[in-house]
Each structure stands twice: as structure tokens, then as C-alpha cells.
Amino acid sequence: MKQYRGLAASAGIAIGPAWIYRPTQVTVERRLVADPAAEWARLQTALSMARTQLQALEARARENIGADEAAIFSAHQLFLEDEELLNSLAGLVKEQRLNAEAAVHDAFEHYAQALESLEEAYFKARAADVRDVRARVLRSLAGAGESEGELTQPAVIFAEDLSPSDTVQFDRTKILGLCTVKGGPTSHTAILARGLGLPAVVSTPINLAEVDPGTLTILDGTTGGVIIGPTLTELDRARKRQAEWQTRRAEQLSAAHAPAATLDGHTVEVVANIGSAEDAQQALEQGAEGVGLFRTEFLYLDRETMPTEAEQEASYRAVFAVMGSRPMVVRTLDIGGDKAVPYLGLQQEPNPFLGWRAIRMIRERPDILEGQLRALLAAGGEAETDLRIMLPMVSSLGEITRAREILAQAQASLQAQGRPLPARFQFGIMIEVPSAALLADHLAQHVDFFSIGTNDLTQYALAVDRTNERVTKLATPYHPAVLRLIKLTIDAAHAHGKWVGLCGELAGDEMAVPLLLGLGLDEFSMAPASVPGVKAAIRRWTLPACRAVAAEAVAQPQAIDVLDYLRGLTPR
Ligand code: PEP
Ligand code: MG
């Protein structure tokens, strides 16, 4: 028996034979061709094969996982249409008479390296996508399939790394769990695994050459534990834990549609973070009572021009239709930081998270916010939407005042066109910059609600870049300094009669439930899959007990003390 510990990436326990994923390796030979025109035609056939495969993968991802995942494959198709890339391929084959394989290798590599040399994490990450597409085209040229060997029976998949196309091509019914050597909890593997509801462990220090295919394995996506060739005792223990987990999950799901109230009857809203209409549907299935964060960026990413107002309105209408009259918190465009959109005039910056990001765009481009607000109000006005619009990354009062002016213009222009405005409407801000938390008493007087973004609040309060793997362990929202900022925010809002939500990852962590209830949080917003577990955790507590937990946690000197204390209170 061999044991390893990686990073827990998606909850659940998988027990089954190991299947090692080894993508087909295509060796690239290099030669000059006698007939460049024929070679160019051969390359065109391979490119169109790759395009067809990507269209199929896109459709499969949309059907089985969601729109965000499907978007990865539509972005891959865009690479195959990139004019610069196609010109460089033509130059290499037609003019330099290089064979198609070598031309594909060189042209895509050049493109990937150019992306890697850029500062922004978003572009760096795209380099992996370019290489993924290159491998696909090379396989098409070689007439090879996606990988060596087929996944014929249910198995735990082991891989060095998994690209999105790797993961989606597997037959969902044959995957018991996923284990990768590379990747972090926010890697594509992790995101896809969570979307599929599969247990996953990433960053596992394991040598795949030592794993015999077919060996029985246990993978615990809650603890990050991986066992190869378990003893009978270990296997028994895992089977018991798996059964308990499945029973607990089934119980949680069966109660997921009931309200979340503490033992003494204190009710809070449990809502979801979404990015599309498909996510909204999933959120309802998991028992979410509405949406606490609709990240609207998805509409603007992976395209080359600004969506028109009509396009925006249509997308919002689709999401609003799913949610009906339930609470619908929409965040205005949060671009910049690690999310770049070239056509919006973003430039390379030394510190993009401290730069021209989110609400800061309104000084130079008020038209973007005005257009988005008009589209949101128009879509909400036609439906029964309980529309709550919020601004990201607010750091001072002036931003709220300016945004309110823009909102008034958007409302006036719709009224001038005789279009109805939403019957129910609230205007709020995210609290994710420490200055906003510290001034929450002032800001609360100018908005209807706050939603705390602990992902960014942690990064800004503790000075840790959330995308830098080397310091990521320091970025814990359980740091008492972050907890104090949360407390300050909630207290200030309540003093002015305003409600407070929390939509960072912390809200979906069952361990944080008594702490956040005790601090007085009114609304918890999280990934749809976390809703049943968080609702169940809320039902285990009374409000006075939670208040005592919060007071104890906030008084701790270090994050580790808070974590030790809360772990002791959380059933496993
Ligand atoms: C946050 O910062 O906590 C948040 C919810 O926003 P995002 O993760 O989209 O920056
Ligand atoms: Mg944020």
C-alpha cells in the first residue's frame, strides 16, 4: 500500500481501479517538402478535423457540464481562425516548404511563447490552451486518436495534468474520480470536476510510472488523500466513509429545498454564485434560493468586440427567466486583475490587481457601465426580477456617487423610450477592498446592501496575490485581520438598517458557518454544489452559540488559531 497527499479539489470519495491517462505523443519530424501546395492542403484537412472535434467537444461540454466549460472549446476554435497564426503557417509551408507537422509545431509554439511573455496571468494561462490546440492539430495530421487506450470500465483517472479537452472527452459514466500531479484547486481540472460532481485531488506528489494500471485505489477529494493498493482494513474504512458521505450528501440534497434556519429559528438566505443561465438552473436544482453573485464577465471574455446592448440584454433575460422572482444580485463588469479583455483598452500593468480594474473604469469609460446598466434594467423591467445590482471593488464614496449618476442616466434613457423599469430594485456594492470595510459606516448610507468579497478582501488585506501559487497558502480568509474587517462591515451595515451578504469562497465552506452566522451575516452566496451542505450546517446551530463562536474566533491572534478552533467544532 502506498499513500500520498495532494490538495483536495472536489469533495467525495472514489474507490476503483487506476487508469493512467497518457495522451498520444506525436513526434514531430522536420523536413522540406517537394510539393508545398499538397502539403498546405494536407494541413487544411487537419485544421478542419480539429475544428470539427472542437465543435463536438463544445456541444458535449455544454450538455454535460455548463456554458463556462463549453466556452473553453469555442475559444480553442478561435485560435484556429487566428489570422496571424494562419499567416505564419502559410509562410512556413508555402514559402519555406516546411512539412506541416514542423510548421504547426513552430507557429503554435511562437504564439504560446508570445502569450507567456505577457505579464497578465490571464494571457499566460492561454498559452496552455494554444499548446492544447497544437497537440490536437498534430494528432489530426498523424491520423491518431485522442489518447492511448480507451477508458472501458469505471476507473479513477490518474494524469500528469489534464487539459479541459482531455477531461471532457472521457465518458462521464466511466470516471470515478480524478487525480493529477499538477494543477491547483482553481485549475481547470478542479473546476470541471466540481462541475461534474466528481471527487478530485490535484498537486499529488506521485510518480505515475510507479502506478500499475488496474490497481485498486482510494481517492478522497475532501482530505486530498490518495491510496494505491490499500490493505483490506484501509479499504473497509474507505468504503464506510464513502457510504457515510453518500448518505450525508443524499440527506443534505433531500432537505436542500427547505429554508435554512438555525435550531432557534433564525433564517438566512442561501443563494448561489453563477456565470450563466445553465449555472442558474443548476443552482435551483441544488436548493439555492436565488443568486447572490452573477459574474457578468463571461459575456465579455473570449471575444474580440464589445457585446452590443441588445446582446447583453438577451443574455441577462435568459438568466433572469430561470430565476423568476427570486433575489437576483448582478455584479457589474469586473474586468482587469487576472481577467483581461483586450478590446476594452486594458494595458499591461505591473500590478494589475492594484490597477485599472472593475469600477475604476468608470472615469475613462462611463459608457460601458451605462450600457450595461441599461441592458440589465431593460431585461429586469420586462420580467418579475427582484433585481439587485452591485458594483465591484469599490474603495471610496466618490465611486458610488458617480455610479449612481450613471444609473440615473440609464434609468432616464429607458423611461424616455417608454420601457418599463424593474418593479423591485436595490443598489449595492461589494466590500472587497479594506478601505471600503473601514469606511463601511459611511458607505452604508448610500447603498441598499453590501456583499463581502472575501477572495479579494483577503488578497488586499494580507497583501497576497491570489494568483501567485508561491504565496497562496498565506491567503486565508480565516486570518483574524480579515475576520475583523468582515465584522466591521456587518456591524456598520446593520447600524444603518442595511443587509449584508458574502459571496467569496468562504461562504461555501461549512466550517465558516457558525462564525459567519455569529457575525450576523444575512445572506450566504456560493457555488451551487455547496448549497445543500451549508444549509445542513446552518441547521445544526443556535444563534447564541454562533455568537460565542464568532467572538472567540475574532479574538484569536493568528489564522492557524482560528482554523484549529473551528475545525474542532466541525463534524467530519
Ligand atoms: C471576491 O473577491 O470574493 C469575489 C466574490 O469576487 P471575484 O472572486 O469574482 O473577484
Ligand atoms: Mg472580487
How do residues 387-446 score in pLDDT, each as one tens digit? 999 999 999 999 999 999 999 999 999 999 999 999 999 999 999 999 999 999 999 999
Which whole number is the average pLDDT over 240-265? 94
Does residue 393 come out as left (phi exceeding 0), alpha (psi in the -120 to 50 range) or beta? left
Q: Which three cell numbers stand for residue 348?
A: 499591461
Identify the residue whose C-alpha is closest to ligand 1 atom 3: 453
Phi, psi torsion values for 213, nearest 5 degrees: -55, 140
- Ligand 1 binding site (Cβ under 6 Å of any ligand atom): 293, 295, 334, 432, 453-456, 503-504
Q: In Å, what is the CA distance from 206 to each residue of 4, 19, 159, 209, 390? A: 7, 14, 10, 9, 44
Which whole number is the average pLDDT over 330-342? 82
477 Cα–ligand 2 center, Å: 13
Predicted local distance difference test score (pLDDT) of residue 190:
72
Q: Which ligand is nearest to the CA of 339?
A: 1
75 Cα–ligand 1 center, Å: 23
**Statement: residue 68 has pLDDT above 80:** no
420 Cα–ligand 2 center, Å: 31
How do residues 354-404 score in pLDDT, each as one tens digit? 988 889 988 889 999 999 999 999 999 999 999 999 999 999 999 999 999
Does residue 302 come out as left (phi exceeding 0), alpha (psi in the -120 to 50 range) or beta? left
Q: Which residue has the higher pLDDT, 80 or 169?
A: 80
Q: Are strands 449-452 and 225-228 parallel, antiparallel or unpaired?
A: unpaired
How do residues 83-93 score in pLDDT, each as one tens digit? 999 999 999 99
Q: How far apart are CA 191 and CA 160, in angstroms?
A: 17
Q: How many beta carbons lie within 10 A of that of residue 212, not counting itself?
A: 11
Q: Is 503 marked active-site?
A: yes
Q: Which of ligand 1's atoms lies nearest the C-alpha of 456?
A: 2
Identify the residue whose C-alpha is closest to ligand 1 atom 9: 295
How do residues 202-236 score in pLDDT, each as one tens digit? 889 899 988 988 999 999 998 889 999 999 999 99
Q: Which ligand is nearest to the CA of 451?
A: 1
Q: How far apart are CA 220 and CA 572, in angstroms?
A: 13
**Statement: residue 106 has pLDDT above 90:** yes
Q: Is 179 marked active-site?
A: no
Q: Which of ligand 1's atoms lies nearest the C-alpha of 337?
A: 10
Identify the residue whose C-alpha is closest to ligand 1 atom 8: 455
How do residues 132-158 score in pLDDT, each as one tens digit? 899 889 988 887 655 545 778 899 999
- Please list the residues that pair with 424 across neighbouring strands: 386
The rounded mean pLDDT for the chain is 90
Q: How far apart are CA 372 and CA 308, in angstroms?
A: 9
Q: How far apart are CA 484 and CA 304, in angstroms?
A: 42
Which whole number is the average pLDDT over 456-472? 84
Q: Which ligand is nearest to the CA of 454?
A: 1
Ligand 1 pocket test: pick from 273, 298, 430 the residue with the most ligand atoms within 8 Å of its Cβ.
Answer: 430
Q: What is the DSSP letter of 93?
A: I
Q: Which of ligand 1's atoms lies nearest the C-alpha of 452?
A: 3
Ligand 1 pocket test: pick from 332, 432, 466 the residue with the most ligand atoms within 8 Å of its Cβ.
Answer: 432
Contacts of 449 (CB under 8 A, 6+ apart): 388, 390, 426, 428, 493, 498, 499, 500, 501
- Please state the separation of Cα 564 from the chain's center in Å: 27
Q: Which of ligand 1's atoms lies nearest the C-alpha of 453?
A: 3
The catalytic position among 188, 442, 494, 546 is 188
Predicted local distance difference test score (pLDDT) of residue 164:
62
Q: How many beta carbons lie within 10 A of that of residue 56, not counting itself?
A: 13
504 Cα–ligand 2 center, Å: 7
Predicted local distance difference test score (pLDDT) of residue 186:
55
Q: Which of ligand 1's atoms lies nearest the C-alpha of 295?
A: 9
Predicted local distance difference test score (pLDDT) of residue 103:
95
Contact 57, 73 (CB under 8 A): yes
Q: How far apart are CA 204 and CA 160, in angstroms?
A: 9
Ligand 1 pocket test: pick from 295, 456, 460, 500 the residue with the most ligand atoms within 8 Å of its Cβ.
Answer: 456
Q: Which of ligand 1's atoms lies nearest the C-alpha of 297?
A: 9
Contacts of 237 (CB under 8 A, 6+ apart): none
Predicted local distance difference test score (pLDDT) of residue 58:
83
93 Cα–ligand 1 center, Å: 46
Q: How far apart are CA 181 and CA 552, in angstroms?
A: 38
Predicted local distance difference test score (pLDDT) of residue 191:
65
295 Cα–ligand 1 center, Å: 9
Which whole number is the average pLDDT over 49-59? 86
Contact 502, 329 (CB under 8 A): no
Q: Which three cell numbers stand for residue 476?
A: 486565508
b/e 459-476 (16+ beta carbons within 10 angstroms → b): bbbbebbbbeeeeeeebb
376 Cα–ligand 1 center, Å: 20
The catalytic position among 76, 105, 479, 503 is 503
Percent of the chain with pLDDT over 70: 94
- ∠ Cα 523 529 531 (to 5°): 30
Contacts of 165 (CB under 8 A, 6+ apart): 54, 57, 72, 73, 76, 132, 136, 146
